[in-house]
Structure 1
């Protein structure tokens, strides 16, 4: 009888009984999957972000200039000198010196390194870039990559490969963020962008899979359904650049033609079946900010993490930028994922695959 009870007890408790070494390595692998935003223009050893990078082996951070908590103070970017010091401090906190330090630097309205902080700040938007010749385009983006690298930024969340197919689209068309309607031309310009970034050792991210160009709404604010407007050729730039892309960012758009239940970033059908299996992309996949309204208004943190990891995403982005009342700590993210693994809701294999892909990406640095 006692033997039966012991066997039963071991079955019930096994998922929770990881050895200390396994626990540590799993925690550190989970840390590599996180891209977090934080408040602060410096990162001394005593800062929370530095402690988190050290303790949890955080793989990447994202920097912003605009401070949603205090509009009169910068969030992370104030001056060239300050930013250079900040990125050095952040790298010093990481165990491998290969912390991915990311910004959104596309040109036009989307550039974090602005003139008022002492940067060039006048890089053209994509819809103006296409009026230049190829050498001008390369030199423009090379200048951008040089500036990024000079202040220690090694990961640019760009280029946009969304097709400019909806004139009512405020997020892509309205801001001139697209290189055009033709997928081959879009892929050509995006390829030049990638080459220019690589010339100064900066990694890139194609966005926003499986296509945000046909949308009307803004996923920052809430649910966006592209089912009726989306076209298959929006996938084409990803197919054409599948062997060149460093990473691909997945959008939060809902597209019934691909998945009838989940938005792209939380969809196994979209990320694994469509992007990896059908289109043949095998690199790192990063989510768009998982605190955007399209996700946060419908899914709780635990469910968001479970779905995002099981979908096949590698880097989970939490910018701590959109709503000051909903800042999420690195500890909470790691602890939640650990519990999901222990309960069997997330398989360790998914964590291991993501970790392996991220390490391969970092070797490019």
Structure 2
């Protein structure tokens, strides 16, 4: 009888690889067997290296001998797999990383990993992905791909897959929210901040605000800008970057959970649920108890609101979030929080829900199935939908 073994090198981890050893079957039977290692375990058995698979060299094998041998093999493999699983569970450790001045705000990264170097690799991958995508999507850099594309007009310009994806998502949410989410709201905000409250502009936004802003051909990898109005992707780009960076960190071997928070845009990927709180927009103190606590697992949480940011208009302080449909600052909703599978959606919808009525927002969230929302109105009323309530750790006030 002959046994062969395979060799598999770990990727993205700390080790230099491990050797997979074959399981020997006792000889002495009426025939010989060849043991072939494979990386796939039988159904219901956790893989921890190769599983021995026997192939007969003659057709006269004893069925009882084969069955007994396979039972011993599977039992041994299952016991080893369970021991390995228990060891890995006990060795999970939690790591915390924090940075300032990342995408213009603070970054907090929490990683659960079986090795410290895996957590450090996840940290490096997170920062590298953020830096890479900032070069594509930054609205503050004059040399980003977005800035260079915004300098074009009415021409099919080659763009990266990432920029095309964000432009496509922006157009989709603009249509699905019927204009409540609109990158062209930047044009309105610029005029209001400049003191322009002309009735013709404020109360009756022109048809240009409702026309397509761009055309994206993702197959051809091109995008054509159709408007000359000021636009911004700030209400969706950060969520996209957070989701992509967290996913890249989670892909590191040895990483079990990733929780990434960049300026209030939160994304979780991993095996264990985590909890996150939503700041109370009515409370004056920044360290006030959260207005809600929710459970996240492979999900994102984003909150928008103008209660801490704004500008003066006609002698009073107003929100920096503008309703593109009315060209007026948001006033009814002071805080809109959204749970979604990924942060791109949560980011865009939290902005849209800041200017929509609570009823409109709940209707859109419910139509999407896996989106939860919590809406705090100026008079203190709180509205949630079932998807949010299903994830709530504590009952809302």
Q: Which has the higher helix share?
A: 1
Asked which structure has the greater RCO (Cα within 8 Å, sep 6+), the reply is 1
Larger radius of gyration: 2
Q: Which has the higher strand share?
A: 2
